[in-house]
Amino acid sequence: MNILIDTHIAIWAIANHSNLSQKARELISDPDNTIYFSSVTVWEVLLKHDSPKNNLTLTPEQFVEYCAEAGFYQLHLSAKHVLVASSLDISKVDKKHRDPFDRLLLSQAKAENYYFLTHDTRIPLYKEKCTIMA
């Protein structure tokens, strides 16, 4: 199974953080699954790292390096991914929480026919079958 992991899942996985659920750990460690992180996530890590509101000391360079060490593959953003974002049903998603990173990551998973592994309770509001909550 091909799985695109959400930003927080990726950070928790490479840090072996206790917030990573058992379900997520099992999916990520299953040798039958191929795990992807997005170039969109690298950008999100950069913004979180540079923001004084966040405590993220992890640099984007370190993030990419650790993901590679973990055996994750990078999924680059394409025009196809952006165009699929227009097919997402945002009608049930609160306007204050229409995170562009979430929309791009979900649309990447949908466009590639991958599963999207997240812990974000707002993602199921998009009603996409590719979502896996962990």
pLDDT at 122: 87
Work out the mean pLDDT of the chain and round it to a whole number.
93
Site of tokens 């640099």: 59
d(CA 91, CA 73): 32
Q: Which pair of structure tokens corresponds to residue 55? A: 């405590």
d(CA 59, CA 78): 23
pLDDT at 91: 82
What confidence tier does 97 reach under pLDDT thresholds 50, 70, 90?
A: low
pLDDT at 54: 84
Residue 108: pLDDT above 70?
yes
3 state SS of 39:
helix
What confidence tier does 94 reach under pLDDT thresholds 50, 70, 90?
A: confident
Give me the mean pLDDT over the 29-33 stretch.
98
What confidence tier does 70 reach under pLDDT thresholds 50, 70, 90?
A: very high
Q: Look up the domain containing 57 and give its range.
A: 2-133
Query: In sequence order, what are the beta bridge partners of 2?
Result: 34
pLDDT at 96: 60
CA 74 vs. chain centroid, Å, equals 11
Residue 61: pLDDT above 90?
yes
The model's pTM is 0.93
Give me the mean pLDDT over the 104-117 stretch.
97
d(CA 55, CA 72): 24
Give me the mean pLDDT over the 74-78 stretch.
98
**Number of domains forming the structure of the chain:** 1
Which CATH number is 105's domain given?
3.40.50.1010
